[in-house]
Chains A and B, each alone.
Chain A
Amino acid sequence: MASTSTAAAPKSTDPLEPALLIEGAQTDASLNASLFDHVWTAPGKGWWGLFGIALMGLAMLGIGLTYTLYKGIGAWGNNIPVGWAYDIINFVWWIGIGHAGTLISAILLLLQQKWRTSINRFAEAMTLFAVMCALLFPLFHTGRPWFAAYWLLPYPSVNGIWPQFKSPLVWDVFAVSTYFTISLLFWFLGLIPDLASLRDSSKSPTKRMIYGIFAMGWRGSGRHWAEYKWSYLLLAGLSTPLVLSVHTIVSFDFATSVLPGWHTTIFPPYFVAGAVFSGFAMVLSWMVPARHFLGLKHVVTMKHLENMNKVILATGMMVSYGYVMEHFIAWYSGNPYEFAVFFKVRQRGPFAPIYWLMVFCNVVVPQIFWSKKARTNILIMWIAALLVNVGMWCERFVIIVTSLHRDFLPSKWELYAPTWVDWSIYIGTIGLFSTLFLLFLKFVPAVAATEVKELRHEMAHHAHGATAAGEAHG
């Protein structure tokens, strides 16, 4: 099926792609070997160690949620006026993190960005797991989740009661569930050829059967490939608006309210930028160690990392612009309540340290990526990515808690403090995410092997065609 000749390392001659996307002299076989290696080899001590820690985190989630169901929302630190706190902060944070996957998979696919291939599987999986973490909160943040589980859905009830379609929370349900469904399908579709490869190369009959079931009878026929390409493109087309819509709608939870600090028209684009920003940061924070430990340096090259840093810089600038505009409008509108929120409460109130941490992480830290040295330094980019994750969590805290805790009437201003349950659930979702992610690394190729192989061919063809003045299209 594939050429087995040991082709010389393709030297890039494309001025737009000056750096290498695949390093070394790779063949399909060598790629298969290296990309599937982490699936076939038994997990080492490192994996088990991490998995153990992740499971402990997952247990904290279980404890936190069980205690909340037993005790009520009073187990958390929420109060009146701070009706939402860690619950919705974490929801928005996780949804934001889930944005990188779709952006990389869908938009970059449509834009024919070749560098996406090595990281898209990774990012898509993160999207799925992040959205799963996020989905916990709309359900469990309610006082009566046993009703919320289905009352939020528009189903024909004998009482003739429908959800309130004016409420952004209902839009959220649609937006997030659509997003999750499409992301899952998209991820799974992309996995099918690789699952077939795993089936074919597996040595144990059990594994062969399991991978065989999920490979859905993929035989690699021309018709399969044609259908596959089309559906992949279609799903990419479907996902693309979702990248913009999901966080836009999440931002409506705030933007459609009357609360100073929430009632802002800039929220939709600013939330989307923030989501991509945090999503890329999260991908980077996991990718950097993963490429090292899984031996993927030849396919996830410095070129990929640098590109991601560029995206972080760009979206970071958009987020900073959002901050500036928020403050400008608060001043320019002459609205005393908004002015108070942006210039007094956030900057000088009891939660000011979190605000300034947010400014540092989201505005100052990304500026380091103007320098190519920083963009290509593994340690710097990893620390920066972690700081951006912290910064984006702080941003949601600033938006949600600081706006709520001091709103219109000073008589009902209250402080907010999280309880151990809040922390337990938050850490627990990180545990859930890590657990799923480690399982993903164990059972599924972290890099889309099919696409990398395709890219290798494409680039070999390119290099060849450039000299032969042949067809430019792959």
Chain B
Amino acid sequence: MSASNDGPGPIADRDEMAVPGGQTGAQGQEAARGRVSLPIVEEARAQTEVQSRQVRKYWRSIAEKEGSRSLSAAAAREFPAGAGELPEPNRRAFMQLLGSSAALAGVAACHQPQEQTVPFVRRPEEITPGLPQHFATGYSLEGYATGLLVESHEGRPTKIEGNPDHRDSLGAARAFEQALLLGLYDDDRAKQIRHNGEPVAWRQFLAEVALLSARHGSDGGARLRFLTDPTASPMLGELRQRLLLKFPNAKFTSYSPVASDGAADGLSAAYGRGVEARHDLARGAVILALDSDFLGDGPEQLRLSRQFSAHRAPSAGMNRLYVVEPGLSVTGMSADHRLRLRAGDVSRFAQAIAAELGGRGGFSQLAKLGGGRAMAPSDAHEAKWVRAVAADLANNRGRSLVIVGRRQPAAVHALAAALNAALDNVGVTVSYAAPLLTDLRSGSAPIAALAQEIAAGQVDTLVITARNPAYSAPADLKFDKLLGRVPTTVYHALYEDETAPGRTFFIPAAHPLESWGDGRATDGAITITQPLIAPLWGGISDIEVLAAFLGEGDQTSHKLLRRSWQAKLASIPGATDVDYDQVWEKWLADGVIVGTETTPLGDLTLDFGAVARALQDSNSAAPKGAGIEIVFAPDYKVFDGRFANASWLQELPDPITKLTWDNAALMSPATAKALGVEVERDSDKFSILAIEYRDRRIHAPALIVPGHADDCITLPLGYGREGSERVARGVGFNAGALRMTDAPWFDRGAQVMRATGMHLFGITQNHWSDEGREPAMEVTLADFQNEHSEFFERIEGRRGPQASIHRPVDYSNQQYKWGMAIDLGKCTGCSACVVACQAENNIPVVGRDNVVVGREMQWLRIDRYYTGEIEDPEVVVQPLGCVHCETAPCEYVCPVNATVHSDEGLNEMVYNRCIGTRYCSNNCPYKVRRFNFLDYTSETPAVRRMAMNPEVTVRSRGIMEKCTYCVQRIEKKRIETRVEGRAIKDGELVTACQQGCPSDAIVFGNLNDPTSRVTKLHADARRYDLLHEIGTRPRTAYLARVRNRNPELAKG
């Protein structure tokens, strides 16, 4: 600007513009013509220009403007030539197209009238786009159904939760059930009906079955066999009956690799008839778990966890849990006292208890069950245990429970029944009912019988609806080879797994969330399971497969089920045939048919003599030899291998070892030392072992677990899969290769030696000790009841206000002040919450290699610390997500304000703003922030994306994320209640982890509501803040765990 232009800017500018020729361009020319535009005129003209543009015809290229004919023809197409054609297909796209077109062809051929899958031409009344619906259904594992509620967004299931009305769920769901969602959308699922490997249509299969049926009909099905999963489903039971009517000589066999046949046989022996035990901890005061993982395993797990944890607060009258087991289990971690014993020694311990009780007054009938001198405790420690536990059981007669796990043989189950009967526990903590399962036994004995028949050439047709028997059957049966000797095999499964190759017919199964069916809870209550979505890849349900042999394969399972229940309507209390549609709808809506529970048997008498005989047989057959004991265990993540393709579960840290993407030979530090196991310093590398047992040999990496019994190795089942499941393949080793028909669960005599090489595990927590920092506080009941104990001194230092130069933000005038309380006394470490969080918040799976380098993404982790002796420690677990500090160290270090505080005290993460400096994580004392180091989401297969929660952003590469206290749930509830013009009530808003928790350890709510549960828990005498000394003022408070010690065992 020239020196003369020293006046106010705008005027000077106008002066310049007024000079003719002083400017170039349109403005200058206009100015030259004397048309000086005021800004407002300029704007109006701009607008008319825009309007005139709208009617102008634009041309796309010079050629079009010139009117070239071929080009104008091309221009008539919306996109250039070739754009509509397929892009050059890459392998994955090609496979997807191939798979889906094949599956769709199958669908068109077999399921002519797809029922109730009409798109919404008119919107049904109850559906609002954007708002999810919940449907009740159920899932049967080990034969018993757990009630579920499935959240569905616009027809696609997105989240699985427990059904609060179902007695075996009580609103919670195990990791297994929650991960069903991944199974539903699993692209690896079988999609094609095959006949000798060639794709065929369902109708062709039906035609073949009709021929088969005709052939087998001639001899009453004498050469026809069915191999099924154990089930309590009335529908499947009915089909079985009808099949047996049609083929009276056919046989059904149930098989489960984790069957509880010991319980079935033991109770049969004790009571003279087949019964099922039902446990009830609502009134149990003293629990003796003999190799029983009732808090981490089994169909009663969810209910027992809830009942158990209800009595873990000192105010509620605490129960006391003794656990005797070989390797640490979830139950063992929750124990007040835990004794590590080899699985084979548990029987001895139980007999010693019986002997000890028998020696006391009032338990004379137990005296002869004692087993005598041979079964006396092996050392002083065990003897002390026996005395103390027996005394405690005797003192709590009528409110104690002896519970035995599935690994133990029949005699121990029979003895436990005798102990419970003698202790007057029957009818209080345990009751016995007629079996619900169609087959009482489903373990190695029944399948061995079937194998024998096959070997003898007595089977022409074998229909398999059991899950993957070629992989899971006892190794000595060589079942996979035997199957090849059956002329016709029909295999119905979700995946083309180890059993699928070589089968005459392979039928892809419909996923439980795609199929109709029914099931029974452990108390007999019936659940109708309804599909949430039409089969994605034309799967067939097991009902339809069995119906095919009845000639009803063209009926849908829905029709069959409805008809069957209509016929059985009379047996349902309170149901009438007047309006079946309405009754049916109610059953579906409730998820459980009220009044269908079966009552326990009242007229049972225990035959102590039979128990004694069983024990004698068992003692004489008991393994006494030297050598290391190998113990098999169902896995907490993949169970028997059936969940091995669910990446959430593979990446879920094992509740005890925190191991992901692997199984390992678990052993005590002493055993590891004796075997020469090497551990690379400060790393998760362990020696690989060669385990030899009865001429079979496997290689398995060792993993040291404190608290494991010595000379004993636990081998989790379900790994080393070789089927077509891509996630499961090559993960871990197959422990089942050492399982024998006569020793399905444990045996001695294994030879273990070091093999060459080391194995690197992906372990999320490899540091055992808490370094004396006591992040997870615990106290004995005695100390807790003594107000002068040093516990209170310690805990007082870890809560309450602190001196600070900052004035804390006042949240008291907010309507809501969100907070959480986690009761360490209740948490069993089962990890259902971790999967719930992962499902709710679209948390990616990162894979083994990333876990190895410490990049797992789960927002919620469960920390596990060992205390005490390394050989025999106590364990404490601590779930930890973002604790939402009021003075959050992460917030002030973020250079771009990507993590900020809400008015209600939430520590919020603004994904869009995050640039990924990771400074927030460095400054987080709890290290609960998770960083997207790589792109974990964009290659998610399209079908898998259907499982995403639409209410939660999917995060991109390079940004930080963490627990949000399920802010999407808060906001949804806020909208709902605002519409209704009220406040959010305590308990109606739950976080995903809280919802999934079977033991009610997590409570979320409004800290400004003095009556809310979370406020009360924040004021509890056991409350403390994690890392209180840093002054972060966390909103998540912890309640110290209380151990209800037996004074007899506590001393010395």
Instruction: Out of B681, B927, B958, name the residue touching A143 (CB < 8 Å).
Output: B958
Chain A residue numbers with a CB within 8 Å of B341 are none
Closest partner residue, chain B, to A258 (CB atom): B889
| One of B516-524, B551-559, B697-705, B770-778 contacting the partner | B770-778
Given contacts A80-B927, A152-B895, contact A257 B914 (CB under 8 A): no
Contact B771 A81 (CB under 8 A): no
Across the interface, do B915 and A167 meet the contact criterion of CB distance under 8 Å?
Answer: no
Decide yes or no whether A320 CB sits under 8 A from chain B: no
Q: How far is the CA of A409 from the CA of B931 in the complex (A)?
A: 18
Chain A residues with CB under 8 Å of B916's CB are: 73, 142-144, 148
Q: Given that A81-B854, A408-B926, A411-B765 are known contacts, is A257 also in contact with B889, CB under 8 Å in the complex?
A: yes
Query: Interface stretch among B279-287, B817-825, B932-940?
Result: B932-940
Tell me, in angstroms, the Cα distance from A297 to B683 when the chains sit together.
52
Consensus secondary structure, chain B interface: loop
Q: Which residues of B contact A161 (CB under 8 A)?
A: 896-897, 913
State the Cβ distance, B882 to closest chain A Cβ, in Å.
Answer: 13
CB distance from B605 to the nearest CB of A (A): 52
A83 contacts partner chain B, Cβ-Cβ < 8 Å: yes
Is B65 positioned at the interface, with any CB of A under 8 Å from its CB?
Answer: no
Q: Which of A80, A143, A170 contacts B895 (CB 8 A)?
A: A170
Q: Assess A79 versus B855: contact at CB under 8 Å? Given A169-B917, A257-B922, A408-B925.
A: yes
Complex interface bits, B888-930 against A, C-beta within 8 A gives 1, otherwise 0: 0101111111000000000000000111111101110111011
- Select the stretch in B20-28, B288-296, B861-869 that faces chain A: B861-869
B866 to chain A: closest CB distance in Å? 11
| Inter-chain contacts of A147 with B (CB < 8 A) | 896, 915
Shortest CB-to-CB span from A432 to chain B, Å, is 22
Is A80 in contact with B930, judged by CB distance below 8 angstroms? yes
CB <8 Å contact, B769 and A410:
yes
B897 to chain A: closest residue by CB: A164
Q: Does A465 reach chain B (CB closer than 8 Å)?
A: no
Cα distance, A72 to B846, chains bound together (Å) = 14
A409 to B850, CA, bound (A): 21
Contacts of B931 in A (CB 8 A): 73, 80, 83, 143
Q: A144-B958, A257-B922, A408-B925 are known contacts. Are A340 and B771 too (CB-CB below 8 A)? A: yes
Which partner residue on chain B sits nearest A406 by CB separation?
B767
Question: For A77, what are the chain B residues with a Cβ–Cβ distance below 8 Å?
Answer: 853
Count the A residues whose beta carbon is within 8 Å of the partner chain — how many?
A: 52
| B1027 interfacial by beta-carbon distance below 8 Å | yes
* A393-414 to B contact mask, C-beta < 8 Å, 1/0: 0000000000010011111111
Distance from A430 Cβ to chain B, minimum over Cβ atoms (Å): 24
Given A147-B915, A152-B895, A408-B1027, A74-B934 contact (CB < 8 Å): yes
Question: Helix, strand, loop or mixed for chain A's interface?
Answer: loop
The answer on a CB contact under 8 Å between A151 and B923 is no
- Assembly CA distance A141 to B894 (angstroms): 14
Closest B residue to A253 by beta carbon equals B919
Task: Quote the shortest CB–CB distance from A320 to chain B (angstroms).
Answer: 27
**With contacts A411-B861, A415-B683 known, is A164 near B895, CB below 8 A?**
yes
In the complex, the answer to whether B923 meets A257 with C-beta atoms within 8 Å is yes
Given contacts A409-B925, A409-B927, is CB(A144)–CB(B959) below 8 Å? yes
- Whether B6 sits at the interface, judged by CB under 8 Å, is no
CB distance from A422 to the nearest CB of B (A): 12
Given A80-B854, A169-B893: A143 and B957 interface contact (C-beta under 8 Å) = yes
A81 close to B921 (CB less than 8 A)? yes
Verify if B415 is at the interface (C-beta below 8 Å from A): no
Contacts known (A81-B921, A163-B897, A167-B893); A415 close to B854, Cβ less than 8 A: yes
CB neighbours (8 Å) of A410 from chain B are 767, 769-771, 773, 775, 865
User: B917 — nearest CB in chain A belongs to which residue?
Assistant: A142
Q: Cα distance A417–B849 when bound, in Å?
A: 13
A278 within 8 Å of B (CB atoms): no
Nearest Cβ on chain B to A305's Cβ, whole angstroms: 40
The closest CB in chain A to the CB of B927 belongs to A412
Does B366 belong to the interface (CB within 8 Å)? no
Q: Which residues of A contact B181 (CB under 8 A)?
A: none
Given A80-B854, A164-B895, A168-B893: A411 touches B915 (CB 8 Å cut-off): no
Question: Do A74 and B926 touch across chains, with their CB atoms under 8 A apart?
Answer: no
Interface centre among B854, B922, B930, B958 (most CB of A within 10 A): B922
A148 to B926, CA, bound (A): 26
Nearest A residue to B878 via CB reads A411
User: What is the CA–CA distance of A410 and B1027 in the complex, to the nearest angstrom?
Assistant: 12
Could you give, for residues 861-886 of chain B, a 1 whenever the CB lies within 8 Å of some chain A CB and a 0 otherwise?
10111000000000000101000000
Report A388 CB to chain B, min CB distance, Å: 27
Q: List, in ascending order, chain A residues with CB within 8 A of B767's CB.
A: 410-411, 413
Contact of A72 among B682, B918, B933 (CB under 8 A): B933
- Which residues of B are found within 8 Å of A173, using beta-carbon distances? 895
The 0/1 profile, CB within 8 Å of B marked 1, for residues 145-162 of chain A is 101100110000000011
**B893 CB contacts on chain A under 8 angstroms:** 164, 166-169, 256-257
**Residue total for B at the interface (Cβ-Cβ under 8 A):** 58
> Is B1030 engaged at the interface, CB distance under 8 Å to the other chain?
yes
With A73-B916, A143-B915, A144-B959 as given contacts, are A409 and B895 in contact (CB-CB < 8 Å)?
A: no
A438 to B855 alpha-carbon distance, docked (Å) = 41
Least CB distance from A251 to B in Å reads 14
Q: Nearest CB to that of A144 among chain B residues?
A: B958
With most chain B CB atoms within 10 A of its CB, the pick from A84, A161, A259, A410 is A410
Q: Of B681, B772, B926, B957, which is within 8 A of A409 by CB?
A: B926
* Chain B window 1018-1052, contacts with chain A (Cβ cutoff 8 Å), 1 for yes, 0 for no: 00000000110010100000000000000000000
Contact among B772, B864, B889, B925 with A411 in the assembled complex (CB-CB below 8 Å) = B864
Known: A84-B922, A142-B917, A410-B771. A74 touches B927 (CB 8 A): no
Q: With A336-B772, A411-B861 as given contacts, are A143 and B855 in contact (CB-CB < 8 Å)?
A: no
Shortest distance from the beta carbon of B44 to any chain A beta carbon, whole Å:
25
Question: Is A78 close to B, CB under 8 A?
Answer: yes
| B685 shortest CB reach to chain A, Å | 11
Interface residues in A175-228 (C-beta closer than 8 Å to B): none
- Nearest-neighbour CB distance to chain B for A145, whole angstroms, equals 8
Within 8 A of A (CB), among B931-968: 931-935, 957-960
Docked complex Cα distance between A152 and B933 (Å):
21
| Set of chain A residues within 8 Å of B773, measured between Cβ atoms | 336-337, 408-410
A-contact 0/1 string along B57-69, CB 8 Å cutoff: 0000000000000
Q: From residue B203, how far is it (CB to closest CB) to chain A in Å? A: 50
Could you say which residues of chain A place their CB within 8 Å of the CB of B1027? Answer: 408-409
In the complex, the answer to whether B894 meets A167 with C-beta atoms within 8 Å is: yes
In the complex, what distance in Å separates the CA atom of A74 from the CA atom of B849?
A: 11
Closest chain B CB from A411 CB (angstroms): 4
- Name the one of A79, A141, A164 contacting B896, with C-beta atoms under 8 angstroms: A164
User: Which chain B residues lie closer than 8 Å to A144 at the CB level?
Assistant: 914-916, 957-959
Q: Which residues of B, 629-665, contact A by the 8 Å Cβ criterion?
A: none
Q: Which residue in chain A gives the minimum CB-CB distance to B960?
A: A143
> In the complex the two chains form, is B894's CB within 8 Å of A164's CB?
yes
Whether a CB of chain B sits under 8 angstroms from the CB of A241 is no
A447 contacts B by Cβ under 8 Å: no
Does A282 count as interface, using CB distance less than 8 angstroms?
A: no
A84 to B681 alpha-carbon distance, docked (Å): 23
| Interface membership of chain A positions 290-322, coded 1 if the CB is closer than 8 angstroms to chain B and 0 otherwise | 000000000000000000000000000000000
**Whole-angstrom CA separation of A472 from B21 in the bound complex:** 64
A404-B772 CB under 8 A given contacts A80-B855, A143-B914, A163-B897: no
CB-defined A-B contacts under 8 Å, sample of 7: A74-B855, A84-B918, A143-B932, A147-B896, A147-B915, A148-B916, A412-B765
> Chain A interface (Cβ within 8 Å of chain B)?
71-74, 77-84, 141-145, 147-148, 151-152, 161-164, 166-170, 173, 253, 256-259, 336-337, 340, 349-350, 404, 407-415, 417
Q: 9 extra interchain contacts, Cβ-Cβ under 8 A, other than A72-B935, A141-B918, A409-B863?
A: A72-B933, A73-B916, A142-B916, A143-B917, A143-B960, A148-B916, A336-B773, A410-B770, A410-B775
The 3 closest A-B pairs by CB, nearest first: A143-B916, A143-B958, A83-B918
